[in-house]
Amino acid sequence: MLPIIICEDNDIQREKIKNFIELAIAKWNFDFEISLCTGKVEELLSFLDEQRELKAIYFLDVDLKNEINGIMLAEHIRKKDSSGYIIFITTHSEMSHLTFKYKVEAMDYIIKDNYSEIKSRIEQCLNYINKTYYTSALKGQVLTFKQDDRVFNIALNDILFIESSPNPHKIIIHEETRLVEVYGSLKDLEDKLTKDFFRCHRAYFVNKRKIKEIDKRNRIIYMTNGEKCLASFRCIGGLLDDAF
Amino acid sequence: MTPFKLIYTIVMGIIFAVSFDNITKSRFSFIERIILSSGIVLGTVITIFTVDVLFFPYIITTFFLVDKIRNKRTNLKSGLNSVLVLLNFFICDVIANIINTILFDNKSRESIFGYTFYLILTSVFAITFSKIIQYTIQKDISRDKTKSYSYYFVLGNVIFSLLIVSLSFITNKVLNVTDVRIYLIDLLLFLAYISSSIFMSYIFNKYTLNEMELSIREEEVERMEEYSKTIEELYENMRKFKHDYKNILLSLYEFIEEKKYDDLEKYYKENILETESYVNSSDYTIKLKNIKITPIKALIASKLIRATNNKINVFVDVSDEILRIPINYIDAIRILGNLLDNAIEGALETEEKCLNFGVVYKGSSIVFIIENSCRQDIPPIYKLLEKGFSTKGNNRGMGLSSVKQIVNEDENLTLNIEVNNGIFRIELWMRVT
């Protein structure tokens, strides 16, 4: 059961949003519940203070007429709830959605254009949360990196291979549609990886499930997307033994 | 065939292999190293004890081929490298010889002690010297094409000086000159020449760097002009808009006054909703005001102006003040310029052209975010990172690969690339230390 918290100072709009959420919950049979619906920031803050630990969905209005603005409020929430879902609702279409996204890891940014648009966006958001929150347990192991208060979650099954950067303090994680570079070393990773990963080279960990072909003579591993991964003379034997 | 000579040749072969490794910076694996050294030692021993004229061609061709095939260098570079290895050995041999002669007497090479001393001296010299050569010539190889001249400059100088010294050494040998002082003078001249060439290359580098900075300044001024022109235009538009707005409000008032609400609704839908798109767009250049680094701002502005002129929907988001960045401006300009160019090119290939640009402080990092709409059938990321790859076929710009190279060399930079649902997103993280 995930709690939903709404903070919007316009009474009419708040009721509308609440209504949309309730409809969506009923329609899709989500396991969510509205636990706070308020127009006052103080109320939300005191609600946060009462909780020891929290993971919730937040719908926040950015231009709350208050000393504390949207970003500050979201940063406050992040202190208590580092992995909750924050969704901003605002009239400011020119406002900074990139800032919100990166600063407080906001999940979405809904612009109050017209109510039907808001409704469908709210439904989309809840659907997405439902999917990620309740299926993450089935998805298999996740590799978590923390870097400058940003958390990268990478599903091990998506990784093709992990490579150490020419610069000794960085590693590069190759996925089919993503390339993520983080600080760290391959050595620290060793314990976090599953059996699917094989150290095929001094500078590479390869996901054995993603291998398409091994060129033994040139010691190159071809991944499912065609990308090349190197293998060393010493390790390629072990990899071939493992495969057959 | 004396045992001395045999040991000498073996050591010589090993020194050759090691200094080749050092000079060419090959990073051989253990097995490759063993194979190379034993091949060289074997070849050296065989040629020296049979037809010793074959020795030099043998060494040169082997190294040339290894450097060309294993390290994938050009003919010129492999050639120069293999000559360097050879000359390096001669010089060190000469220096060790001279020192040995000074410390002991001329006959020292016949005693076991003197001979070992001589061998150790030669190998130590050869290895350190090859490291120094490698450092001197590689240090200036920059990712920039304009700078690689200085590589050939220093390399040429080093080879030239080594050649001169070896020549004089050989002439002295042929003429049977035994006076140690001649070798000493040779040595001094050689050192003087090397240091002067290093100094020259330093000056040269500085000069090219200055020149580069100058041209970047010039470009910056141009971009700034473009930027201020856009701002002026924007201001002019704003003024017009303000004027229009007053009229619109007045007309609205008239509808209300006469209580013609149906007409009002019609008027609102027809005339006022349209202005919304104007309010929402076109002020992106103003949003760059938070970037306080002029060259960077000018670059971004000029690229975004280009994007708008190409009918791309540009969105800018810089809500924090950016006062300084942890990397030098030249690198930053090259990275951002490349990324923005790519983003514009990518967006142009799509129907709903859009480009989002943002800068955000996150923890102790500054994050530059560039998003653009991209084709659904965009090539996989690793292909985009390949050198010389461009979706437009022939080498347009250096593209992502050169960006990646700069990022790789700087510990404070990390680059994340993601393709998701028709959106190509690049994040450049700069760690502020």
Task: Give the mean pLDDT of B387-411.
Answer: 71
* Residue ranges with strand state E in A83-242: 85-90, 108-111, 142-147, 150-155, 159-164, 170-175, 178-183, 197-201, 204-207, 211-215, 220-223, 228-230
Q: Tokens 């808001």 sit at which residue? A: A118
pLDDT digits (tens, 9 = 90+) for A61-80: 877 666 667 778 888 888 88
pLDDT band for B146, please (50, 70, 90 cuts).
very low
Measured CA to CA, the distance from residue A201 to residue B200 in angstroms comes to: 42
In sequence order, what are the beta bridge partners of A207? A197
Q: Which residues of B touch A166 (CB under 8 A)?
A: 408-409
pLDDT digits (tens, 9 = 90+) for B23-52: 777 667 778 778 888 888 888 778 777 777
The whole-number pLDDT of residue B154 equals 66
Q: Which chain A residue's Cα is nearest to B356?
A: A98
pTM comes to 0.63
- The share of chain B scoring above pLDDT 90, in percent, equals 8
pLDDT-wise least confident of A187-196, A197-206, B39-48, B101-110: B101-110
pLDDT beyond 60 at B176? yes
pLDDT band for B141, please (50, 70, 90 cuts).
very low
Q: Which residues of B touch A62 (CB under 8 A)?
A: none
Cβ atoms B425, B418 nearer than 8 A: yes
The whole-number pLDDT of residue B252 equals 81
pLDDT digits (tens, 9 = 90+) for B269-288: 777 766 665 555 556 667 78
The whole-number pLDDT of residue B397 equals 46
* Mean pLDDT of the residues in chain B: 78
Q: Which residue in the set B283, B317, B415 is minimally distant from A181, CB to CB?
A: B415
pLDDT-wise least confident of A131-135, B147-151, B312-316: B147-151
- ipTM, two decimals, is 0.77
| Residue B381 touches chain A, beta carbons under 8 Å | yes
pLDDT beyond 90 at B340? yes
* B residues 29-88 lying closer than 8 A (beta carbon) to A: 29, 31
pLDDT beyond 60 at A94? no
* A residues 148-187 lying closer than 8 A (beta carbon) to B: 148-150, 165-167, 169-170, 174, 176-183
Residue scoring higher pLDDT (B341 or B39): B341
Q: Which residue in the set A98, A170, A177 is minimally distant from B414, CB to CB?
A: A170
How deeply is A219 buried, as exposed, middle or buried, from its count of CB atoms within 10 A (0-12, 13-18, 19+)? middle
pLDDT beyond 90 at B417? yes
pLDDT digits (tens, 9 = 90+) for B220-232: 788 778 778 777 8
- When mean pLDDT is compared over A79-93, A159-173, B93-107, B143-157, the highest value belongs to A159-173
The whole-number pLDDT of residue A93 equals 58
* A residues 44-103 lying closer than 8 A (beta carbon) to B: 93-94, 96-99, 102-103
